A and B are shown apart, each in its own frame.
Chain A
Amino acid sequence: MSRVQLEIFLGSILIAVTGFILLYVGFNEEKRMEEFVRYQAAQKIEVGAQLFEINCRGCHGLRGEGIPGLAPPLNDAHFFQARIAEVGWQGGLEDYIIATVSTGRQVSTRPDLYPGAGSPAMPTWSDEFGGPLRKDQIETLAAFILNWEATATGDVELVQIPSSEPSAEELADPVARGLLLYNQSGCAGCHAIEGISVGAVGPNLTTVGDTAATRIEGYSAEEYLRESIVNPLAYLVEGYDDLMLKNFADTVSDAELDDLVAFLLAQR
């Protein structure tokens, strides 16, 4: 066999084999594409979960259970079964979530239960309306919130383990305890600290450890911070309204207040 003939022969075999590989791929495409649709939906939920922790837990709670006196639960049967009828929403629940989150909520529909940050009760989230999140991010948040349905309606029970976060007592460092409280007491929902939270209702606290001492004449940074939490009316930061919750004096213990202040002092 000459080289030309050999190459024609081997080449033909390779074309046939390559053809078979393509056929094999072709037969599996349907299944593979379905798998990718599921995979991409899964990824959306994962990303949404992350965004929820950064942006929403401060008001709606770590697991969407809501914070009484601040913002409503998003993980209960009422939200999934009765809420859109209650507010008279025309579309589906996903649309309701996307629309509500995108535009925020100027006035709470349940001001006695969940006044939120006052006015607006929930800030705008979509960057179309001046908020911090993109459309695709809000869609992932909706996918994540909708995924609570199975547990909300009791179809699925989750395994509960004793502790997810270290309890404040476990942490020896007051600053670390303060961070925990900052996230758990709703501060994160209204305030931004670089790398920790992105709330936009109140002033950015990234460097509050420095600025605190300059706010009120005669007040040390520590005294000022303590005062700001217990009695927000004492000093209104320029450009902000009186929106901070007034009941921290009751809900936060003295020890917790120390930790919060230590944490804020460390932000500089």
Chain B
Amino acid sequence: MLKSLNFSELFKNAKTAIDNRVRIITAGLSIIELRALLRGDPPTEKPNPRYKVHVTSFMFHIRPKFYQQASTIFTHTWRLGFFTVFFLALEIVTGLILMIFYTPTPAEAYNSILSLTSNIPFGKLMRDLHRLGAEGMVIFSVLHMLRTFLTGSYKKERSFTWLTGVVLLLVTLGLSFTGYLLPWDQLAYWAVTIGTSMAEAAPLFGNEINLLLRGAPDIGAGGLLRFYLLHIVLLPGIVVWMLSIHYYKVAREHSISLPAKYDREDLPKEITKKAKQRLDLLPDLLTHEVFLTTVGLFITILLTAFFYEAPLENIANPQQTPLDTKAPWYFWWLQGMLKMGDKTLMGIILPTIIFGILFAVPYIDRNPHREAHKRPLAIAIGLLATLTLVVLSYMGLPEYGIETPAAARIIQDLAPEEGLGELRAIPYDQLQPGVYEVNVTDAENMCPDLLWGCPILESVFVEYSDRVNEAAEEGKLPDAEAVLVIEEWQADLTKVTPRIIWSDGESGDRKSYEQHIFLHRDHDRDH
């Protein structure tokens, strides 16, 4: 028996068996080949097994076999498209986890976010990541568009890639907008109410579109469910569909464009040759992508762990419109435009034209050259459009162009109805009860009885005094008397009342404006 046992035969059989298994899993790569890949060694077999995976594996068949060396130069793509995909993947993973804990009904939505942050380990991190990822995806797809525009990469055969890109941008904005409503807080509710009311201004079918979106004249249970379904089913579906086309065009059909300067005819041969050298997916491109992913994860997790917090305001209240309703920042440009004209023109017709032009860019711009200095007009228009976007966004801020009465503005800035504001950021122990009168109370030493004094209260009081005095000088608050009243209201609850009394310009009557802000001791939270 024993004699017939041939060890070397056995080893060989085992080795082949293992090798076969490995090749099945890796779609054709042997163990030795894998080792060579990781070490950056040349292929170990012929024909090159690293190309075989593109035929044998689904995941690899949608990947490029190689890119030309110069098209992967960092300052050509800035990896903006890649990071947009990174954020999309992050959104899908965190989104699936959030779905477990979220209930899309007006009665439960807000509570489910509360319990997510107070009751579920890593729940807040997931939410912060999802929110940060959403903003990142918007930023990076816009920058990515700007880069493909500036490098002239949308021309000729890449026209359709650009077109699918604009659809992706629209859907990305749609995803952000629909996601914005889901926490069902004041910020969300009113931003979305205003957003959808724009649909109402659309010619012909405005009212029907609005009804279709909201499910009722006002946003309620129906609207929330519709937004939720758009957010988790329809729009992600469109993204996956469009991205498949977009990416297939890049990876399998036209490859990434070479930087425009290689278009020149008079370049020395060896330079063109070097530029066109192949960088294979395995191992070069793939390692690079994995590396970029670790960079992306590191930065987003670092930010969410220590610096970034997704906002959550009070629960949505259809009966109470906050003084400042603010769209998410990537819609400020639209808010800015709305301030310049009526809803139909500025909110529907003009944006439609803008996106129409954006779609048509490759078809309008027939200039075959890609180098910046050969297309000065296009570059100038592109930069001008970017600048306009920034200016419009600034104009979209609630501070711009909307005249709020001075007293209300001052108090609202100090303690916004929604959000934190300086007044709410005063540590509880510094809220020493008392009546503090602007220009009377000595702001240097407001709390001599407190061991550490109350420097933050003092600085807020100084800010308040300055704003009141400024407005008084400008004639907006003649004969202003302003106080800040701090009262203990209950155990661990303090009521703060900023009150401004002034003479009305015309009638001379004394007018008064005040807000009541309640602060609980446990409101303080070290972030």
Contacts and interface: CB of A to CB of B under 8 A. Distances in A.
Interface stretch (B10-18, B21-29, B289-297): B289-297
Contacts of A149: 491
A69 interface: no
B205 interface: no
A80 interface: no
B69 to A, nearest CB: 12
A104 B23 CA distance: 74
A42 B435 contact: no
Given A7-B291, A11-B294, A136-B315, A46 B520 contact: yes
A238 B143 CA distance: 64
Interface residues of A, number: 61
Contact of B305 (A21, A136, A176): A21
A176 B49 CA distance: 86
Contacts of B111: 136
A215 interface: no
A147 interface: yes
Contacts of B297: 14-15, 18
Interface stretch (B115-123, B132-140, B376-384): B115-123
A147 B489 CA distance: 10
A166 interface: yes
Interface string A1-40: 0111101101100110110011011100110110111111
Given A4-B40, A42-B521, A25 B125 contact: yes
A43 B520 contact: yes
A139 to B, nearest CB: 10
A248 B125 CA distance: 58
Nearest to B122: A29
What does DSSP make chain A's interface, helix, strand, loop or mixed?
Answer: helix
B516 A50 contact: yes
Given A39-B525, A40-B118, A151 B490 contact: yes
B435 A35 contact: no
A148 interface: yes
B518 A11 contact: no
A49 B40 contact: no
A147 B525 contact: no
Contacts of A15: 294, 297
A50 B517 CA distance: 8
A240 to B, nearest CB: 23
B435 A163 contact: yes
A133 B284 CA distance: 62
A107 interface: no
A147 B491 contact: yes
Nearest to A162: B435
Contact of A11 (B291, B520, B522): B291
A93 interface: no
A171 B511 CA distance: 9
Nearest to B110: A136
A39 B202 CA distance: 43
A150 interface: yes
Contact of B314 (A35, A47, A159): A47
Contacts of A43: 314, 520, 523
Given A42-B523, A46-B519, A164 B485 contact: yes
A42 B119 CA distance: 16
Contacts of A50: 516, 518
Contacts of A8: 38, 287, 291
B510 A173 contact: yes
Contacts of B486: 161
22 contacts: A7-B290, A7-B291, A11-B287, A11-B290, A21-B298, A29-B122, A36-B525, A42-B522, A43-B520, A45-B520, A46-B519, A49-B489, A49-B490, A49-B518, A50-B516, A136-B110, A155-B491, A161-B486, A166-B499, A173-B509, A173-B510, A173-B512
